[in-house]
Amino acid sequence: MATQSPTEPPPPVPPAPSSASASSAPTDTALRGPLRRLLLTSPPANVSMYLLWGALPGILLPLQVAELDSANKTGNLAVITTLGALAAMLTQPLAGALSDRTRSRYGRRGPWIVGGALIGGLALLGMAAANTLVQIGIAWVMVQIAYNFVQGPLTAIMPDRVPRAVRGTFSAVIGFSAMLGTMGGQIVATRFADRIDTGYVVFAGLALVMLALFVAFNPDRDNRGEPRRPVSIRELARSFWFDPRKHPDFGWAFLGRLLLNLGYFLITQYQLYLLQEYIGLGDDAIGFVPVLGMATLCATLVATAVGGPLSDRLGRRKVFVFAASVVLAVAMAVPWALPTKTGMVLYAAAAGLGYGLFATVDSALISEVLPAQEDFGKDLGVVNIAATLPQVLAPGLAGAVAVALGYSALFPVGIVLVLCGGLAVAPIKAVR
């Protein structure tokens, strides 16, 4: 797979063009050498990360919370996941800004990726040992902080190293890896339903190994000779802000990602409880999760196999976001009208197709509206708030809707949000 020893620095890869110069990027780029190796090694690294996000908040954490207080599981889970997502939201821009300013023998991103995976693994050991809700909450916040110090720099590698002409392909691969990891994590986690502590250890170890190998096979260049940028409280505070008046395309992309993810997470974060209460499966819900996961994965595979390369060939991104939002809306309408196991399977397949289309082009679209090349990590951290903030808002919003109107009301609310998310990218001018 590799064309040279992973300990040798690769030939220099030209930096990706900034938004200002994106139009001059080449229209055809051969996937060979370091670029091909990056494409081939990205899936295991991203899958290992998203296995965590599928297994932990989707299955293992709800089960662990329910074991301690089954009667109040919904409220307790909402509090813990909201605290964790809030920590993630605050961490990603900070992680991106710090990695932008990092000067080391191993480049800007690698030290944070490996170090975050190691600390995150230790935090998961804390989750495994926790036996009170307070301990779980503290450990979960630490997990979110550590792994978002991985995710921010890992996300920045694409605009760092990948030319614009092939970003659709990379976005499709990364998007499918995210869906494969998320759904696969839910499926695999059901096997640890009776051994939650073992599940935490397994997922932590896998992430550490895969991420360390990714950094080893894709070494960054030594950047100790580059000018050092200031690291101050004021500069770090800027990590959490961008001016939408100066960068309207970036603002619209942020809003589109925020709304679409909020609608999607409104359903997926409560999938286990929806199966138990809304569909009426009770304890049998755990065994049905893998069925939904497989339906989603099959549909996602089709969407990513077609969407990313076709987006590169057509030179268009927004139409895929429009299509994704419509397909997601249709998917959510099915179990709303048909609250059965069949309805949930149809939802899972259609949602996999819709979110897969979105994921194939979302990273590429975002990479083409970033305001400044020297701040790729920081800006990606800011826009990634649009993926983590919905996790903060979704539990509280879903809980309020479910308590006030019942679980069935989650679906029409989700439909409105995903459709608005698709429409939000329409004003973007820099991307077709």
- Residue 386's alpha-carbon distances to 100, 264, 314, 351, 366, in angstroms, are 20, 12, 26, 19, 11
Q: Is the pLDDT of residue 374 over 60?
A: no
Instruction: Label residue 282 left, alpha or beta by phi (over 0 means left) and psi (-120 to 50 means alpha).
Output: left
Q: How long a stretch of residues is the chain? A: 432
Of 42, 45, 7, 298, give the one whose Cα is nearest residue 166.
42
- pLDDT, tens digit, 9 for 90 and up, residues 160-189: 888 877 877 887 788 788 878 887 888 899
The pTM of the full predicted model, rounded to 2 decimals, is 0.70
Which carries the bigger pLDDT value, residue 272 or residue 381? 272
pLDDT band with cut points at 50, 70 and 90 for residue 391 = low
SS3 232: coil
Rounded Cα distance, 275 and 254, in Å: 31
Rounded Cα distance, 313 and 169, in Å: 10
Token pair listed for 113: 């990726």
- pLDDT, tens digit, 9 for 90 and up, residues 316-332: 889 899 999 999 999 99
Rounded Cα distance, 256 and 326, in Å: 13
Per-range mean pLDDT, top range of 90-99, 161-170, 193-202, 391-400: 193-202
- pLDDT, tens digit, 9 for 90 and up, residues 334-346: 999 999 999 999 9
Rounded Cα distance, 351 and 331, in Å: 5
Are 363 and 175 contacting, i.e. CB atoms less than 8 angstroms apart?
Answer: yes
Q: Which domains does the chain have, with CATH numbers?
A: 38-223+243-424 (1.20.1250.20)
pLDDT band with cut points at 50, 70 and 90 for residue 10 = very low
Residues 312-319, mean pLDDT to the nearest whole number: 82
Look at residue 202 in the predicted model and tell me its pLDDT. 97
111-125, 343-357, 385-399: least confidently modelled range: 385-399
Look at residue 359 in the predicted model and tell me its pLDDT. 79
Rounded Cα distance, 260 and 262, in Å: 5
Token pair listed for 152: 């921010």
Average pLDDT of the chain is 83
pLDDT band with cut points at 50, 70 and 90 for residue 237 = low
% the chain with pLDDT above 70: 86
Q: Is the pLDDT of residue 110 over 80?
A: yes
% the chain with pLDDT above 90: 37
Which residue's entry shows tokens 């370091």? 34
